[in-house]
């Protein structure tokens, strides 16, 4: 379909809210599928699917259920979960020292390198990591980095975001 398909879906969904749509597409991209679902489709079926699968999608959508081709469903669900988690990252204020630790963490520094750069004990850096894990409501160092990147990229990092470049 030529043009902006997602925008066309949004238009139909806004102008005809009773219309139930199924996207029948060659795109197995999770981002495309998520965009289509967020725009208003209830079904997302890949071309090449069996007639039975397409029929099942149409039946489910007719009764208001959501249908995803099995080959994209796991990646779409994972993508939606990631999006939901990113929305849950709280607005957080960091101390100057926490910002320093985050800045170095985003540069890929280890705890030892952070300790050396800030003239701290490695044990103190580990304490800051624990504080950051709590403040960002994440489970580990990798998630601290991901949350900090999201906050920085969205401009939501409070208390000196410009220092994290």
* Same domain (yes/no): 77, 102: no
Q: Are 105 and 113 in contact (CB under 8 A)?
A: no
Distance between CA atoms of 112 and 29, rounded to whole angstroms? 40
Last residue of a domain, one of 45, 66, 87: 87
Alpha-carbon distance 119 to 155, whole Å? 29
Asked if 160 and 152 count as a contact pair (C-beta separation under 8 A), the reply is no
Q: Which of 87, 104, 130 is the last residue of a domain?
A: 87
**pLDDT (tens digit, 9 = 90+) per residue, 17-68?**
899 999 999 999 999 999 999 899 999 999 999 999 999 999 999 998 889 9
d(CA 155, CA 157): 6
137 shares a domain with 107: yes
Band (pLDDT 50/70/90 cuts) for residue 163 is very low
77 or 67, higher pLDDT:
67
Q: The domain spanning residue 112 has which CATH number?
A: 1.10.10.10
Residues 81 and 123 in one domain: no
23 and 73, same domain (yes or no)? yes
Boundary (domain end) residue, out of 30, 59, 87: 87
Task: Supply the range of the domain harboring residue 134.
Answer: 96-164
Q: If phi over 0 gives left and psi between -120 and 50 gives alpha, with beta otherwise, what is residue 159?
A: left
What's the pTM value of the predicted model, to 2 decimals?
Answer: 0.53
Cβ(83)–Cβ(37) below 8 Å: no
| Total count of domains within the chain | 2
């Amino acid at each position: 379909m030529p043009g902006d398909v997602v925008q066309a879906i949004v238009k139909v969904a806004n102008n005809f809210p009773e219309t139930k749509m199924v996207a029948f597409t060659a795109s197995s991209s999770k981002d495309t599928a998520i965009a289509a679902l967020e725009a208003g489709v209830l079904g997302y079926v890949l071309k090449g699917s069996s007639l039975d699968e397409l029929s099942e999608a149409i039946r489910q959508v007719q009764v208001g259920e959501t249908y995803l081709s099995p080959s994209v469903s796991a990646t779409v669900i994972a993508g939606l979960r990631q999006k939901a988690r990113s929305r849950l990252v709280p607005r957080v204020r960091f101390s100057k020292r926490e910002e320093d630790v985050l800045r170095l963490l985003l540069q890929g520094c280890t705890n030892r390198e952070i300790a050396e750069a800030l003239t701290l004990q490695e044990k103190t850096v580990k304490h800051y990591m624990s504080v950051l894990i709590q403040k960002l409501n994440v489970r580990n160092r990798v998630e601290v980095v991901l949350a900090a990147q999201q906050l920085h990229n969205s401009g939501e990092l409070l208390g000196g975001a410009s220092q994290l470049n």
